[in-house]
């Protein structure tokens, strides 16, 4: 018998996602394939379940849903934020012990970027952290190949730069009084390689990009490759 969070009916695909580590789309697929039963009856898309219902997958009764886990990782450069290794490039899951292999990343950092990335088995948390309507602040330390001209700084901060997928406006703050290559970049969006593309559109190359903050979460003193369990805030 499954232990749901409350007596209110829960969508079956959501419950399967929690119990099996599937995405909701994957859960829908196994429901459609006839591999799921509720109280001995083949389930259908849109079904809901309550605490008294018995859910079976491939004729195996599913137990209580796992505890939610929230993990912060300091991703080093050279790791992809996916489960599948890309050529000889390792995945960040190589840095985690087996008990955390089923967690999913909350957004991504590309192979050449480092810093804070969150992982969890809580789909609702992921939605709150990544959906544009929630505007979670992300902070990065960025090193450029050459000094940023004041005019370009003003363009990025005050007016935004036009990219193929829309305007990109970033908050910039110098990290050093002695150089205009090092910047703290604060953003509310999370479009693919947005920071790199913004500077590239003005003729700059991002040499390094390191995320230090994501919403209420900060990297702190974690070393590259280290991780820790964090509280949901």
Catalytic residue among 110, 122, 145, 158: 110
Three-state DSSP class for 160?
Answer: coil
And the tokens for 105? 């990343």
| DSSP-assigned letter for residue 162 | E
> 87-113 b/e with 16+ CB inside 10 Å = b?
eeeebbbebbeeebebbebbebbebeb
CB atoms under 10 Å from CB of 31, counted, come to 21
Q: Give, in order, the Cα–Cα distances in Å from 149 to each of 21, 142, 144, 163, 200.
A: 48, 15, 11, 19, 13
Please state, in angstroms and as integers, the Cα–Cα distance from residue 118 to each residue in 92, 142, 176, 223, following that order. 11, 20, 28, 15
231 annotated active-site: no
Active site residues: 110
């Amino acid at each position: 018998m499954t232990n749901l969070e409350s007596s209110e009916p829960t969508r079956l695909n959501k419950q399967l996602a929690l119990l099996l580590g599937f995405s909701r789309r994957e859960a829908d697929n196994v429901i459609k394939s006839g591999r799921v039963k509720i109280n001995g009856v083949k389930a259908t898309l849109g079904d809901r379940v309550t605490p008294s219902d018995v859910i079976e997958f491939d004729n195996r009764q599913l137990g209580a849903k796992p505890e939610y886990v929230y993990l912060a990782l300091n991703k080093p450069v050279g790791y992809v934020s996916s489960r599948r290794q890309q050529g000889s490039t390792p995945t960040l899951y190589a840095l985690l012990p087996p008990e955390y292999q089923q967690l999913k990343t909350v957004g991504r950092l590309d192979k050449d970027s480092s810093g804070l990335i969150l992982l969890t088995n809580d789909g609702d948390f992921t939605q709150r952290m990544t959906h544009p309507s929630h505007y979670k602040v992300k902070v990065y330390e960025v090193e450029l190949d050459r000094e940023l001209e004041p005019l370009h700084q003003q363009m990025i901060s005050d007016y935004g730069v036009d990219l193929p997928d829309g305007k990109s406006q970033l908050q910039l703050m110098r990290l050093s009084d002695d150089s205009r290559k090092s910047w703290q970049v604060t953003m509310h969006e999370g479009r693919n390689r947005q920071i790199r593309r913004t500077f590239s559109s003005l003729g700059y190359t991002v040499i390094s990009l390191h995320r230090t903050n994501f919403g209420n979460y900060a990297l702190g003193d974690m070393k590259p490759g280290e991780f820790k369990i964090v509280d949901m805030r």
